[in-house]
Chain A
Amino acid sequence: MIIISPYTKKLNNGKENPKNYPYWEQLISLIDEPVVQIGLTGEKQLVTDFRENLSINELKELLKECRTWIGCDSFFQHLAWVEKKPGIVLWSISDPKIFGHPENINLLKDRAYLAPNQFLWWEAYEYNPERSVLPEEVIKHL
């Protein structure tokens, strides 16, 4: 079983978070094993098994059951790192050298897409699908 953590938290301005991955549907269609989506109520459901609003302890238990996981730059990659469960992180404008963990597979299309200032609000940047790696690239690492 694979966990997907598709979305990072919503921006205060209501716009799409530029750290989100744009090709989840295509990526999921390429995965040949059960997929469990985690997230919050109101987020787009991508698979049948969508577990909403799990507590930290419930997420830790779920991590023990999965083979691996795929997510964007959100709290979940940190939780999995603490739980010593490596996975794949799909990066766009935040810097994996700062916010990532070398134990994971960190897929960044190009450092040229990184936000010039990593420490201000993400609201300052527009969502741009061009910044993310394609699903075919992700699947090679799964």
Chain B
Amino acid sequence: MPNVLCSVATRGRYHTTLPLTLNAIINQTHKVDKLIIFDDNDEPQDMRNELVYSYFFQMLTIKGIQWEWLYAAKKGQHYSHQMANTMEYEWVWRVDDDAIPEPNVLQNLLKYTGPRIGAVGGSVLTPPSIETNNSTGLIDNIDSEPNIQWGIIKEPKYVQHLHCTFIYRAGVHDYNLGLSRVAHREETLFTYGLYQKGYGVVVVPDAVTWHLKNPQGGIRSETSQQLYENDERIFQNFMKFKDNTIVVLNCGLGDHIVFSQVLPKLKNPVVFTCYPEVIPGRAIAEAQDLFGNLDQWNIYKKMDEWVWIDSLESAFEAMYL
């Protein structure tokens, strides 16, 4: 079975839903290889001093599950998820701190993790349950239909985006770090990015997580409408270019020249460039404004992450083809 990191980002829920989440993870029928808790609280505490948590940590050790409690950067859960994404596990199971997976969830999600699968999610139910039989899971319908995961999923189905909690192939696509601390739409952008890279995104039956939506804590700790509006604007900008290959060449002159040999192979590219005399296109500053953060197109950062040993041209192909 593939190795699985379970990632929980938490804020403001030490004594409400987080213990339920951790207990549910500890008691999965398929054990995770490691549990990492990103503590994004404004005033983090040492939870080893809390009775229930101290038992949790002992239970993890007894069960042979590695665990780590990491004080996060207070920049939002997308930063924590991106860290988990690059910790060199094959799969990451992300679980919100108000999500309570039934004991068989991980076991059943893993049944669908084939070589071309990017993410697998199950039902994410907030009582009372709603009917989502007619939901398509297509990105174009995101504002016009209930999310397919909000209802009981009866059979496997390919979709284009997932919500809240799911297992995903790590190191393939980046979380958008241009989003605000609210990280509105972060999982939609992330899973849709996996889909755009050609990986299957699937919802599957018999993997129910109870989402005990908590009006306090988590992203609801932030009340500024401006933050939501910023994130929504970035999301909508990605949607405007969803039929394009977005190319951001925030790099050197030589890199642009090498990339010129890759460009003809791309499908419907829209290019943002530093050297328009080499590669015509729009300004980098515009890309920064549209997409919030350009790290996912930083070829040197990617080559470093990939421990790259092939040519620069091949690295561009790996990024864009």
Interface residues of B in 265-321 (CB under 8 A from A): 277-278, 300-301, 303-304, 308-312
Q: A75-B252, A120-B304 are in contact. Are A97 and B257 (CB under 8 A)?
A: no
Interface residues on B, range: 10 to 19
Please, which residues of chain A bring their CB within 8 A of the CB of B258?
Answer: 78, 81-82
Chain B residues at the A interface, C-beta cutoff of 8 Å: 252-254, 257-258, 260-261, 277-278, 300-301, 303-304, 308-312
Alpha-carbon separation in the docked complex, A118 to B306 (Å)? 12
B257 and A98 contact, CB distance less than 8 A: no
A119 and B304 contact, CB distance less than 8 A: yes
B277 and A98 contact, CB distance less than 8 A: no
Please, which residues of chain B bring their CB within 8 A of the CB of A75?
Answer: 252-254, 257
Alpha-carbon separation in the docked complex, A55 to B277 (Å)? 9
B311 and A97 contact, CB distance less than 8 A: yes
Please, which residues of chain B bring their CB within 8 A of the CB of A118?
Answer: 303, 308
B254 and A98 contact, CB distance less than 8 A: no
Closest CB in chain A relative to B86 CB, distance in Å: 14
Closest CB in chain A relative to B57 CB, distance in Å: 36
Q: A79-B257, A81-B257, A98-B312 are in contact. List 8 more A-B contacts (CB 8 A).
A: A56-B277, A74-B254, A99-B254, A117-B304, A118-B303, A118-B308, A119-B301, A119-B308
Instruction: Fill in one digit per residue for A64-105: 1 if any B CB lies within 8 Å of its CB, else 0.
Output: 000000000011111101100000000000000111110000
Alpha-carbon separation in the docked complex, A92 to B308 (Å)? 19
B310 and A98 contact, CB distance less than 8 A: yes
Interface residues of A in 35-54 (CB under 8 A from B): none
